[in-house]
Structure 1
Amino acid sequence: MSTGTELAGRLALVTGAGRGIGEAVVAALLEQGARVLATDLAFENVPDLADKYGEQVTARPLDVTDAAAVEALVAEAERTLGPLDIAVNVAGILRSSDVLDLTDEDWAATFAVNTNGVFHVSRSVARRMAVRGRGSIVTVASNAAGIPRAGLAAYAASKAAAVMFTKCLGLEVASRGVRCNTVSPGSTLTDMQRALWTASTDQEEATRRVIEGDLATHRTGIPLGRIADPADIADAVAFLVSDRARHVTMHDLYVDGGATLRA
Protein backbone atom coordinates (compact mmCIF):
# COMPACT_ATOMS: atom_id res chain seq x y z
CA MET A 1 0.00 0.00 0.00
CA SER A 2 1.40 3.37 -1.02
CA THR A 3 1.39 5.78 1.88
CA GLY A 4 1.20 9.57 1.91
CA THR A 5 2.20 11.82 4.75
CA GLU A 6 -0.70 14.26 5.03
CA LEU A 7 -1.92 12.68 8.28
CA ALA A 8 1.41 11.36 9.49
CA GLY A 9 1.66 11.20 13.27
CA ARG A 10 -2.08 11.54 13.84
CA LEU A 11 -4.32 9.06 15.61
CA ALA A 12 -7.86 8.47 14.36
CA LEU A 13 -10.82 6.68 15.92
CA VAL A 14 -13.19 5.15 13.36
CA THR A 15 -16.49 3.52 14.36
CA GLY A 16 -18.29 1.05 12.13
CA ALA A 17 -14.90 0.12 10.69
CA GLY A 18 -15.60 -3.53 9.96
CA ARG A 19 -16.94 -3.16 6.43
CA GLY A 20 -18.31 -0.82 3.78
CA ILE A 21 -17.70 2.89 4.24
CA GLY A 22 -16.04 2.40 7.62
CA GLU A 23 -13.45 0.02 6.22
CA ALA A 24 -12.83 2.39 3.30
CA VAL A 25 -12.31 5.28 5.74
CA VAL A 26 -9.73 3.24 7.64
CA ALA A 27 -7.87 2.54 4.40
CA ALA A 28 -7.99 6.18 3.29
CA LEU A 29 -6.62 7.48 6.59
CA LEU A 30 -3.88 4.87 6.64
CA GLU A 31 -2.89 5.79 3.10
CA GLN A 32 -2.19 9.31 4.37
CA GLY A 33 -0.03 8.10 7.23
CA ALA A 34 -2.45 8.10 10.17
CA ARG A 35 -2.68 5.45 12.84
CA VAL A 36 -6.22 4.13 13.29
CA LEU A 37 -8.18 2.75 16.21
CA ALA A 38 -10.74 0.68 14.28
CA THR A 39 -13.91 -0.25 16.15
CA ASP A 40 -17.13 -2.07 15.39
CA LEU A 41 -19.93 -3.82 17.24
CA ALA A 42 -19.71 -6.66 14.72
CA PHE A 43 -16.10 -7.21 15.68
CA GLU A 44 -15.37 -10.27 13.57
CA ASN A 45 -14.18 -8.22 10.57
CA VAL A 46 -12.10 -5.64 12.42
CA PRO A 47 -9.12 -7.85 13.38
CA ASP A 48 -8.67 -8.54 9.66
CA LEU A 49 -7.85 -4.85 9.25
CA ALA A 50 -5.07 -5.14 11.81
CA ASP A 51 -3.77 -8.25 10.06
CA LYS A 52 -3.88 -6.47 6.69
CA TYR A 53 -2.33 -3.15 7.70
CA GLY A 54 -0.14 -4.15 10.62
CA GLU A 55 0.74 -2.07 13.63
CA GLN A 56 -0.82 1.08 12.17
CA VAL A 57 -4.24 -0.36 13.11
CA THR A 58 -5.48 -1.18 16.59
CA ALA A 59 -8.74 -3.16 16.57
CA ARG A 60 -11.29 -2.98 19.38
CA PRO A 61 -14.96 -3.95 19.78
CA LEU A 62 -17.29 -1.05 20.56
CA ASP A 63 -21.02 -0.60 21.06
CA VAL A 64 -21.55 3.11 20.40
CA THR A 65 -24.95 2.99 22.12
CA ASP A 66 -23.17 2.34 25.42
CA ALA A 67 -21.90 5.70 26.70
CA ALA A 68 -19.78 4.13 29.44
CA ALA A 69 -18.12 1.75 26.97
CA VAL A 70 -17.34 4.64 24.62
CA GLU A 71 -15.80 6.70 27.40
CA ALA A 72 -13.75 3.74 28.62
CA LEU A 73 -12.39 3.02 25.15
CA VAL A 74 -11.49 6.65 24.46
CA ALA A 75 -9.75 6.92 27.84
CA GLU A 76 -7.82 3.70 27.20
CA ALA A 77 -6.83 4.84 23.71
CA GLU A 78 -5.50 8.16 24.96
CA ARG A 79 -3.60 6.40 27.72
CA THR A 80 -2.02 3.67 25.58
CA LEU A 81 -1.97 4.97 22.00
CA GLY A 82 -1.76 8.74 22.43
CA PRO A 83 -4.05 11.72 21.94
CA LEU A 84 -6.85 11.32 19.42
CA ASP A 85 -6.54 13.86 16.62
CA ILE A 86 -9.41 12.56 14.49
CA ALA A 87 -12.75 10.84 15.10
CA VAL A 88 -15.01 9.53 12.35
CA ASN A 89 -18.53 8.38 13.19
CA VAL A 90 -19.48 5.75 10.63
CA ALA A 91 -21.41 3.19 12.71
CA GLY A 92 -25.04 3.12 11.61
CA ILE A 93 -28.05 0.91 11.01
CA LEU A 94 -30.99 1.06 8.63
CA ARG A 95 -34.41 -0.43 9.32
CA SER A 96 -36.80 0.37 6.49
CA SER A 97 -40.52 0.62 7.10
CA ASP A 98 -43.44 2.85 6.31
CA VAL A 99 -44.21 5.01 9.32
CA LEU A 100 -47.63 3.43 9.85
CA ASP A 101 -45.94 0.07 10.30
CA LEU A 102 -42.81 1.27 12.10
CA THR A 103 -42.32 -0.34 15.50
CA ASP A 104 -41.19 1.44 18.64
CA GLU A 105 -38.22 -0.92 18.82
CA ASP A 106 -37.02 -0.14 15.29
CA TRP A 107 -37.37 3.61 15.87
CA ALA A 108 -35.49 3.46 19.18
CA ALA A 109 -32.76 1.17 17.84
CA THR A 110 -32.16 3.42 14.84
CA PHE A 111 -31.73 6.53 17.00
CA ALA A 112 -29.66 4.61 19.55
CA VAL A 113 -26.96 3.93 16.96
CA ASN A 114 -27.28 6.69 14.38
CA THR A 115 -27.85 9.61 16.75
CA ASN A 116 -27.02 8.62 20.33
CA GLY A 117 -23.89 6.82 19.16
CA VAL A 118 -22.68 9.94 17.38
CA PHE A 119 -23.34 11.94 20.53
CA HIS A 120 -21.49 9.50 22.79
CA VAL A 121 -18.37 9.30 20.63
CA SER A 122 -18.24 12.98 19.66
CA ARG A 123 -18.74 14.21 23.22
CA SER A 124 -16.03 11.96 24.58
CA VAL A 125 -13.38 12.87 22.04
CA ALA A 126 -14.35 16.55 21.82
CA ARG A 127 -13.83 17.03 25.55
CA ARG A 128 -10.22 15.97 25.13
CA MET A 129 -9.61 17.72 21.81
CA ALA A 130 -10.93 21.03 23.18
CA VAL A 131 -8.42 20.97 26.04
CA ARG A 132 -5.57 20.43 23.56
CA GLY A 133 -6.86 23.08 21.16
CA ARG A 134 -6.99 20.88 18.08
CA GLY A 135 -8.90 18.02 16.48
CA SER A 136 -11.31 17.04 13.75
CA ILE A 137 -14.59 15.12 14.01
CA VAL A 138 -16.49 13.88 10.97
CA THR A 139 -19.90 12.23 11.08
CA VAL A 140 -20.99 10.12 8.13
CA ALA A 141 -24.67 10.95 7.77
CA SER A 142 -26.83 10.48 4.65
CA ASN A 143 -28.44 12.50 1.89
CA ALA A 144 -31.69 11.02 3.25
CA ALA A 145 -31.33 13.65 5.99
CA GLY A 146 -32.04 16.33 3.39
CA ILE A 147 -34.77 14.85 1.21
CA PRO A 148 -37.87 12.82 2.19
CA ARG A 149 -37.68 9.12 1.38
CA ALA A 150 -40.58 6.71 1.59
CA GLY A 151 -39.88 3.83 3.96
CA LEU A 152 -36.86 5.51 5.54
CA ALA A 153 -38.41 7.88 8.08
CA ALA A 154 -36.51 6.56 11.10
CA TYR A 155 -33.21 6.43 9.24
CA ALA A 156 -33.63 9.87 7.67
CA ALA A 157 -34.73 11.49 10.93
CA SER A 158 -31.85 9.94 12.88
CA LYS A 159 -29.32 11.13 10.30
CA ALA A 160 -30.81 14.62 10.21
CA ALA A 161 -30.46 14.77 13.98
CA ALA A 162 -26.84 13.64 13.74
CA VAL A 163 -26.09 16.35 11.17
CA MET A 164 -27.53 19.14 13.30
CA PHE A 165 -25.89 17.80 16.45
CA THR A 166 -22.50 17.80 14.70
CA LYS A 167 -23.01 21.38 13.51
CA CYS A 168 -23.97 22.54 17.00
CA LEU A 169 -20.96 20.81 18.49
CA GLY A 170 -18.79 22.43 15.84
CA LEU A 171 -20.09 25.85 16.81
CA GLU A 172 -19.35 25.27 20.49
CA VAL A 173 -15.79 24.01 20.04
CA ALA A 174 -14.67 26.12 17.07
CA SER A 175 -12.95 28.69 19.31
CA ARG A 176 -10.92 25.85 20.80
CA GLY A 177 -9.53 24.65 17.49
CA VAL A 178 -11.81 21.65 16.94
CA ARG A 179 -13.55 21.26 13.58
CA CYS A 180 -16.77 19.26 13.18
CA ASN A 181 -18.19 18.34 9.77
CA THR A 182 -20.50 15.80 8.18
CA VAL A 183 -20.32 13.80 4.97
CA SER A 184 -23.69 12.80 3.54
CA PRO A 185 -23.50 9.94 1.04
CA GLY A 186 -26.21 8.92 -1.35
CA SER A 187 -26.62 5.38 -2.62
CA THR A 188 -23.31 3.61 -2.05
CA LEU A 189 -22.41 0.04 -2.92
CA THR A 190 -22.41 -1.44 0.60
CA ASP A 191 -24.21 -4.24 2.40
CA MET A 192 -26.71 -1.66 3.66
CA GLN A 193 -27.54 -0.66 0.09
CA ARG A 194 -27.86 -4.26 -1.03
CA ALA A 195 -30.26 -4.95 1.84
CA LEU A 196 -32.70 -2.52 0.22
CA TRP A 197 -32.76 -4.56 -2.98
CA THR A 198 -35.18 -7.46 -3.28
CA ALA A 199 -33.74 -10.94 -3.43
CA SER A 200 -35.19 -11.42 -6.91
CA THR A 201 -33.35 -8.40 -8.35
CA ASP A 202 -29.82 -8.89 -9.65
CA GLN A 203 -27.22 -6.23 -8.93
CA GLU A 204 -27.14 -4.83 -12.45
CA GLU A 205 -30.90 -4.34 -12.54
CA ALA A 206 -30.99 -2.93 -9.01
CA THR A 207 -28.21 -0.50 -9.85
CA ARG A 208 -30.05 0.68 -12.96
CA ARG A 209 -33.20 1.35 -10.94
CA VAL A 210 -31.31 3.40 -8.37
CA ILE A 211 -29.56 5.47 -11.04
CA GLU A 212 -32.75 6.09 -13.02
CA GLY A 213 -34.90 6.84 -9.97
CA ASP A 214 -38.53 5.93 -9.46
CA LEU A 215 -41.33 8.41 -10.03
CA ALA A 216 -43.89 6.13 -8.33
CA THR A 217 -42.02 6.37 -5.01
CA HIS A 218 -40.91 9.98 -5.57
CA ARG A 219 -37.29 8.93 -5.60
CA THR A 220 -34.80 11.00 -7.58
CA GLY A 221 -32.17 9.30 -9.69
CA ILE A 222 -28.44 9.99 -9.77
CA PRO A 223 -27.46 12.64 -12.33
CA LEU A 224 -23.85 11.45 -12.52
CA GLY A 225 -25.12 8.03 -13.58
CA ARG A 226 -23.33 5.82 -11.07
CA ILE A 227 -23.67 4.48 -7.55
CA ALA A 228 -20.89 5.59 -5.23
CA ASP A 229 -18.09 3.30 -4.18
CA PRO A 230 -17.21 3.38 -0.45
CA ALA A 231 -13.86 4.92 -1.41
CA ASP A 232 -15.69 7.97 -2.81
CA ILE A 233 -17.09 8.66 0.64
CA ALA A 234 -13.81 7.88 2.38
CA ASP A 235 -11.92 10.34 0.19
CA ALA A 236 -14.31 13.10 1.28
CA VAL A 237 -13.73 12.18 4.92
CA ALA A 238 -9.97 12.16 4.43
CA PHE A 239 -10.13 15.66 2.95
CA LEU A 240 -12.23 17.06 5.80
CA VAL A 241 -9.89 15.75 8.51
CA SER A 242 -6.81 17.06 6.71
CA ASP A 243 -5.15 20.47 6.93
CA ARG A 244 -6.48 21.22 3.44
CA ALA A 245 -9.84 21.71 5.17
CA ARG A 246 -8.40 23.67 8.07
CA HIS A 247 -10.91 26.50 7.54
CA VAL A 248 -13.93 24.22 7.07
CA THR A 249 -16.23 23.48 9.99
CA MET A 250 -19.97 22.92 10.50
CA HIS A 251 -20.17 21.88 6.83
CA ASP A 252 -22.34 19.10 5.42
CA LEU A 253 -20.65 17.69 2.32
CA TYR A 254 -23.02 15.77 0.04
CA VAL A 255 -21.39 12.94 -1.91
CA ASP A 256 -24.38 11.61 -3.83
CA GLY A 257 -23.78 12.21 -7.51
CA GLY A 258 -26.34 15.02 -7.41
CA ALA A 259 -29.16 12.72 -6.33
CA THR A 260 -30.83 15.20 -3.98
CA LEU A 261 -30.46 18.06 -6.45
CA ARG A 262 -29.30 19.76 -3.22
CA ALA A 263 -32.94 20.18 -2.25
Structure 2
Amino acid sequence: MSDHSVPGNPGSSGFTGKVALVTGAGQGIGEAVVRALFRLGATVAATDVSAPAVAELAAELGPSAAGPAADGEADHGTRAGTVRAYGLDVTDRMAVDRTVALVERELGPVDILVNVAGILRAAPVAELTDEDWTATFGVNAQGVFFVSRAVVPGMAERGSGSVVTVASNAAGIPRAGMAAYAASKAAAVMFTKCLGLEYARSGVRCNVVAPGSTHTPMQWGLWTDPDAPARVLDGDLASYRTGIPLGRIADPADIADAVVFLASEQARHITMQDLYVDGGATLR
Protein backbone atom coordinates (compact mmCIF):
# COMPACT_ATOMS: atom_id res chain seq x y z
CA MET A 1 0.00 0.00 0.00
CA SER A 2 1.32 3.44 -0.89
CA ASP A 3 2.18 5.87 1.88
CA HIS A 4 -0.04 8.88 1.26
CA SER A 5 0.90 10.71 4.45
CA VAL A 6 1.43 14.40 3.91
CA PRO A 7 4.35 16.12 5.65
CA GLY A 8 3.44 19.30 7.47
CA ASN A 9 5.11 22.71 7.28
CA PRO A 10 8.90 22.97 7.60
CA GLY A 11 8.56 23.53 11.34
CA SER A 12 7.15 20.03 11.71
CA SER A 13 9.37 18.40 9.11
CA GLY A 14 11.85 16.80 11.43
CA PHE A 15 14.57 19.41 11.95
CA THR A 16 14.52 19.11 15.73
CA GLY A 17 17.31 16.77 16.71
CA LYS A 18 18.86 16.79 13.24
CA VAL A 19 22.51 17.71 12.79
CA ALA A 20 23.27 20.10 9.94
CA LEU A 21 26.68 21.15 8.65
CA VAL A 22 26.78 24.45 6.77
CA THR A 23 29.87 25.76 4.96
CA GLY A 24 30.42 29.44 4.25
CA ALA A 25 28.34 30.22 7.34
CA GLY A 26 30.15 33.40 8.36
CA GLN A 27 28.05 35.82 6.34
CA GLY A 28 25.45 36.22 3.61
CA ILE A 29 23.49 33.18 2.48
CA GLY A 30 25.40 30.74 4.67
CA GLU A 31 24.63 32.78 7.78
CA ALA A 32 20.95 32.98 6.77
CA VAL A 33 20.84 29.20 6.36
CA VAL A 34 22.30 28.71 9.84
CA ARG A 35 19.73 31.07 11.32
CA ALA A 36 16.84 29.32 9.54
CA LEU A 37 17.90 25.82 10.59
CA PHE A 38 18.56 27.02 14.14
CA ARG A 39 15.06 28.51 14.42
CA LEU A 40 13.59 25.19 13.29
CA GLY A 41 15.38 23.25 16.00
CA ALA A 42 18.41 21.80 14.24
CA THR A 43 21.83 21.37 15.78
CA VAL A 44 24.01 23.32 13.37
CA ALA A 45 27.74 23.08 12.77
CA ALA A 46 28.49 26.53 11.33
CA THR A 47 31.77 26.39 9.41
CA ASP A 48 33.70 29.11 7.66
CA VAL A 49 37.25 30.01 6.71
CA SER A 50 36.74 32.95 9.08
CA ALA A 51 36.58 31.27 12.47
CA PRO A 52 35.81 34.58 14.28
CA ALA A 53 32.75 35.18 12.07
CA VAL A 54 31.11 31.85 12.90
CA ALA A 55 32.17 32.14 16.56
CA GLU A 56 30.33 35.46 16.75
CA LEU A 57 27.26 33.90 15.10
CA ALA A 58 27.27 30.95 17.49
CA ALA A 59 27.62 33.29 20.46
CA GLU A 60 24.67 35.35 19.25
CA LEU A 61 22.51 32.25 18.79
CA GLY A 62 23.38 30.89 22.21
CA PRO A 63 21.01 29.56 24.87
CA SER A 64 19.44 33.00 25.35
CA ALA A 65 18.29 32.94 21.71
CA ALA A 66 16.30 29.73 22.11
CA GLY A 67 13.05 31.44 23.01
CA PRO A 68 9.82 32.39 21.22
CA ALA A 69 9.99 33.50 17.59
CA ALA A 70 10.94 37.13 17.09
CA ASP A 71 8.56 39.64 15.55
CA GLY A 72 8.06 38.89 11.89
CA GLU A 73 9.27 35.29 12.18
CA ALA A 74 6.98 32.32 11.93
CA ASP A 75 6.46 30.30 15.11
CA HIS A 76 6.01 26.68 14.05
CA GLY A 77 5.85 25.37 17.59
CA THR A 78 9.49 24.29 17.63
CA ARG A 79 12.18 25.19 20.13
CA ALA A 80 15.29 26.76 18.64
CA GLY A 81 18.25 24.47 18.21
CA THR A 82 21.93 25.00 18.87
CA VAL A 83 24.86 26.34 16.85
CA ARG A 84 28.51 25.42 17.23
CA ALA A 85 31.28 27.17 15.30
CA TYR A 86 34.13 25.49 13.44
CA GLY A 87 36.83 27.21 11.42
CA LEU A 88 37.20 25.42 8.08
CA ASP A 89 38.97 26.01 4.78
CA VAL A 90 36.99 23.81 2.37
CA THR A 91 39.94 23.70 -0.05
CA ASP A 92 42.04 21.80 2.51
CA ARG A 93 41.09 18.13 2.16
CA MET A 94 42.72 17.04 5.39
CA ALA A 95 41.09 19.88 7.33
CA VAL A 96 37.72 18.93 5.86
CA ASP A 97 38.09 15.30 6.93
CA ARG A 98 39.23 16.32 10.42
CA THR A 99 36.41 18.83 10.87
CA VAL A 100 33.68 16.46 9.70
CA ALA A 101 35.02 13.80 12.10
CA LEU A 102 35.09 16.37 14.92
CA VAL A 103 31.54 17.58 14.19
CA GLU A 104 30.20 14.03 14.22
CA ARG A 105 32.08 13.25 17.42
CA GLU A 106 30.80 16.38 19.20
CA LEU A 107 27.32 16.81 17.72
CA GLY A 108 26.41 13.47 16.18
CA PRO A 109 26.11 12.12 12.62
CA VAL A 110 25.42 14.77 9.99
CA ASP A 111 21.88 14.54 8.61
CA ILE A 112 21.93 17.68 6.45
CA LEU A 113 24.82 19.17 4.50
CA VAL A 114 24.54 22.62 2.97
CA ASN A 115 27.43 23.62 0.70
CA VAL A 116 27.45 27.42 0.61
CA ALA A 117 31.13 28.45 0.71
CA GLY A 118 32.03 30.34 -2.44
CA ILE A 119 34.18 33.12 -3.85
CA LEU A 120 33.90 35.38 -6.90
CA ARG A 121 36.81 36.67 -8.97
CA ALA A 122 35.17 38.85 -11.63
CA ALA A 123 37.25 39.66 -14.72
CA PRO A 124 37.20 39.20 -18.49
CA VAL A 125 38.71 35.89 -19.54
CA ALA A 126 41.87 37.50 -20.94
CA GLU A 127 42.48 39.17 -17.57
CA LEU A 128 41.83 36.14 -15.36
CA THR A 129 45.00 34.96 -13.70
CA ASP A 130 45.94 31.35 -13.10
CA GLU A 131 45.49 32.03 -9.39
CA ASP A 132 41.99 33.48 -9.95
CA TRP A 133 40.92 30.36 -11.82
CA THR A 134 42.50 27.92 -9.39
CA ALA A 135 41.19 29.69 -6.30
CA THR A 136 37.66 29.95 -7.71
CA PHE A 137 37.47 26.27 -8.59
CA GLY A 138 39.21 25.38 -5.33
CA VAL A 139 36.39 26.83 -3.21
CA ASN A 140 33.35 26.64 -5.47
CA ALA A 141 33.84 23.17 -6.95
CA GLN A 142 36.62 21.29 -5.19
CA GLY A 143 35.36 22.41 -1.79
CA VAL A 144 31.92 20.98 -2.55
CA PHE A 145 33.60 17.73 -3.57
CA PHE A 146 35.80 17.49 -0.46
CA VAL A 147 33.00 18.21 2.02
CA SER A 148 30.39 16.05 0.27
CA ARG A 149 32.81 13.13 0.00
CA ALA A 150 33.54 13.39 3.72
CA VAL A 151 29.87 13.50 4.75
CA VAL A 152 27.72 11.54 2.30
CA PRO A 153 29.07 7.98 2.74
CA GLY A 154 28.09 8.15 6.40
CA MET A 155 24.61 9.32 5.43
CA ALA A 156 24.35 6.39 3.04
CA GLU A 157 25.33 3.92 5.75
CA ARG A 158 22.52 5.29 7.93
CA GLY A 159 20.05 5.21 5.04
CA SER A 160 19.09 8.88 4.92
CA GLY A 161 20.43 12.38 4.42
CA SER A 162 20.03 15.57 2.46
CA VAL A 163 22.66 17.58 0.60
CA VAL A 164 21.88 21.05 -0.73
CA THR A 165 24.52 22.87 -2.76
CA VAL A 166 24.06 26.62 -3.16
CA ALA A 167 25.30 27.36 -6.68
CA SER A 168 24.24 30.33 -8.83
CA ASN A 169 21.99 31.15 -11.75
CA ALA A 170 25.27 32.06 -13.48
CA ALA A 171 25.81 28.31 -13.81
CA GLY A 172 22.98 28.21 -16.33
CA ILE A 173 23.41 31.41 -18.32
CA PRO A 174 26.56 33.10 -19.69
CA ARG A 175 27.72 36.18 -17.80
CA ALA A 176 30.33 38.58 -19.13
CA GLY A 177 33.27 38.93 -16.77
CA MET A 178 32.25 35.91 -14.70
CA ALA A 179 33.67 32.95 -16.61
CA ALA A 180 35.57 31.37 -13.70
CA TYR A 181 32.69 31.82 -11.29
CA ALA A 182 30.05 30.54 -13.72
CA ALA A 183 32.14 27.55 -14.79
CA SER A 184 32.94 26.59 -11.19
CA LYS A 185 29.30 26.82 -10.18
CA ALA A 186 28.26 24.74 -13.19
CA ALA A 187 30.77 22.11 -12.08
CA ALA A 188 29.29 22.15 -8.56
CA VAL A 189 25.79 21.73 -9.97
CA MET A 190 26.63 18.70 -12.08
CA PHE A 191 28.74 17.17 -9.32
CA THR A 192 25.80 17.44 -6.92
CA LYS A 193 23.41 15.84 -9.40
CA CYS A 194 25.82 12.96 -10.09
CA LEU A 195 26.22 12.52 -6.34
CA GLY A 196 22.45 12.36 -6.02
CA LEU A 197 22.22 9.68 -8.68
CA GLU A 198 24.92 7.54 -7.08
CA TYR A 199 23.37 7.70 -3.62
CA ALA A 200 19.64 7.78 -4.39
CA ARG A 201 19.12 4.11 -3.51
CA SER A 202 20.83 4.79 -0.19
CA GLY A 203 18.20 7.33 0.83
CA VAL A 204 20.39 10.39 0.32
CA ARG A 205 18.85 13.29 -1.61
CA CYS A 206 21.12 15.82 -3.35
CA ASN A 207 19.74 19.08 -4.73
CA VAL A 208 20.88 22.52 -5.82
CA VAL A 209 19.61 26.01 -5.05
CA ALA A 210 20.67 28.56 -7.68
CA PRO A 211 20.36 32.14 -6.41
CA GLY A 212 20.42 35.20 -8.56
CA SER A 213 21.47 38.63 -7.34
CA THR A 214 21.22 38.65 -3.55
CA HIS A 215 22.02 41.26 -0.92
CA THR A 216 25.36 39.82 0.24
CA PRO A 217 28.92 41.16 0.50
CA MET A 218 29.72 39.24 -2.71
CA GLN A 219 26.98 41.14 -4.57
CA TRP A 220 27.93 44.50 -3.09
CA GLY A 221 31.52 43.95 -4.19
CA LEU A 222 30.35 44.02 -7.82
CA TRP A 223 28.74 47.44 -7.46
CA THR A 224 31.18 50.15 -8.49
CA ASP A 225 28.79 53.10 -8.79
CA PRO A 226 25.44 54.27 -7.36
CA ASP A 227 23.54 53.12 -10.47
CA ALA A 228 24.67 49.51 -10.20
CA PRO A 229 21.63 48.24 -8.23
CA ALA A 230 19.28 49.79 -10.79
CA ARG A 231 21.14 48.03 -13.63
CA VAL A 232 20.71 44.73 -11.81
CA LEU A 233 16.96 45.29 -11.59
CA ASP A 234 16.45 46.75 -15.05
CA GLY A 235 19.05 44.77 -16.98
CA ASP A 236 22.04 45.94 -18.95
CA LEU A 237 21.90 45.55 -22.73
CA ALA A 238 25.60 46.35 -23.11
CA SER A 239 26.53 43.28 -21.06
CA TYR A 240 23.73 41.11 -22.51
CA ARG A 241 22.14 40.82 -19.10
CA THR A 242 18.42 40.62 -18.39
CA GLY A 243 16.91 42.34 -15.40
CA ILE A 244 14.86 40.83 -12.60
CA PRO A 245 11.17 40.47 -13.55
CA LEU A 246 10.01 40.47 -9.92
CA GLY A 247 11.69 43.85 -9.48
CA ARG A 248 13.66 43.13 -6.34
CA ILE A 249 17.05 41.81 -5.31
CA ALA A 250 16.79 38.76 -3.07
CA ASP A 251 17.45 38.80 0.64
CA PRO A 252 19.66 35.97 1.97
CA ALA A 253 16.61 34.65 3.83
CA ASP A 254 14.86 34.07 0.48
CA ILE A 255 17.62 31.65 -0.48
CA ALA A 256 17.68 30.07 2.97
CA ASP A 257 13.95 29.34 2.71
CA ALA A 258 14.55 27.36 -0.48
CA VAL A 259 17.41 25.45 1.17
CA VAL A 260 15.20 24.61 4.15
CA PHE A 261 12.47 23.31 1.86
CA LEU A 262 14.82 21.01 -0.04
CA ALA A 263 16.36 19.76 3.21
CA SER A 264 12.96 19.08 4.77
CA GLU A 265 10.66 16.08 4.61
CA GLN A 266 8.38 18.17 2.42
CA ALA A 267 10.94 17.51 -0.33
CA ARG A 268 11.31 13.80 0.45
CA HIS A 269 10.65 12.83 -3.20
CA ILE A 270 12.90 15.48 -4.73
CA THR A 271 16.50 14.78 -5.70
CA MET A 272 18.95 15.88 -8.40
CA GLN A 273 16.98 19.09 -8.94
CA ASP A 274 18.16 22.65 -9.51
CA LEU A 275 15.85 25.26 -7.94
CA TYR A 276 16.41 28.76 -9.32
CA VAL A 277 15.67 31.55 -6.81
CA ASP A 278 16.41 34.61 -8.92
CA GLY A 279 13.17 36.54 -9.33
CA GLY A 280 12.89 35.25 -12.90
CA ALA A 281 16.19 36.78 -14.02
CA THR A 282 17.20 33.81 -16.18
CA LEU A 283 13.72 33.55 -17.73
CA ARG A 284 13.60 29.84 -16.95
Using the size of structure 1 for normalisation, the TM-score is: 0.95
Identity among equivalent positions (%) equals 68
> Partners in 1 of 2:105 and 2:54 — Cα distance?
21
Which of 101, 109, 114 matches 1:75?
A: 101
* 2:217 maps to 1:191: yes
Quick check: 1:13–1:86 contact (8 Å CA) kept in 2?
yes
Unaligned runs of 5+ in 1: none
- Residue 5 of structure 1 and its aligned partner are, at CA, apart by 4.6
Q: Which runs of 4+ in 1 moved over 4 A?
A: none
Quick check: 1:5–1:33 contact (8 Å CA) kept in 2?
no
Name 1:62's counterpart in structure 2: 88
> Partners in 1 of 2:31 and 2:228 — Cα distance?
23
Q: 1:146-173: CA deviations, max 9, x gaps?
A: 0000000000000000000000000000
What letter matches 2:192 in structure 1? T
**How many pairs were matched up?**
256
- Which structure 2 residues correspond to residues 143-222 of structure 1 after superposition, within 5 A? 143-198=169-224, 201-202=225-226, 205-222=227-244
Tell me, what secondary structure is at the counterpart of 1:232?
helix
Using the size of structure 2 for normalisation, the TM-score is: 0.88
- Which structure 2 residues correspond to residues 4-153 of structure 1 after superposition, within 5 A? 4-6=11-13, 7-54=15-62, 56-153=82-179
> Partners in 2 of 1:208 and 1:96 — Cα distance?
19
Q: 1:168-223: CA deviations, max 9, x gaps?
A: 0000000000000000000001000010011xx23xx3221100000011011000
> Partners in 1 of 2:12 and 2:48 — Cα distance?
26
Tell me, what secondary structure is at the counterpart of 1:236?
helix
Which of 260, 268, 275 matches 1:238?
A: 260
> Partners in 1 of 2:220 and 2:57 — Cα distance?
23
What letter matches 2:193 in structure 1? K
> Partners in 2 of 1:81 and 1:45 — Cα distance?
20
CA RMSD after TM alignment: 1.1
With 40-49 and 116-125 compared, the bigger mean Cα shift is at 40-49
Quick check: 2:223–2:229 contact (8 Å CA) kept in 1?
no
> Partners in 2 of 1:38 and 1:207 — Cα distance?
30
Quick check: 1:17–1:39 contact (8 Å CA) kept in 2?
yes
Q: 1:45-75: CA deviations, max 9, x gaps?
A: 1111111111501101000001111111111
> Partners in 1 of 2:32 and 2:196 — Cα distance?
24
Tell me, what secondary structure is at the counterpart of 2:206?
strand
> Partners in 2 of 1:92 and 1:186 — Cα distance?
14
- Residue 25 of structure 1 and its aligned partner are, at CA, apart by 0.3
> Partners in 1 of 2:12 and 2:142 — Cα distance?
33
With 114-123 and 44-53 compared, the bigger mean Cα shift is at 44-53
> Partners in 2 of 1:170 and 1:124 — Cα distance?
15
Tell me, what secondary structure is at the counterpart of 2:61?
helix
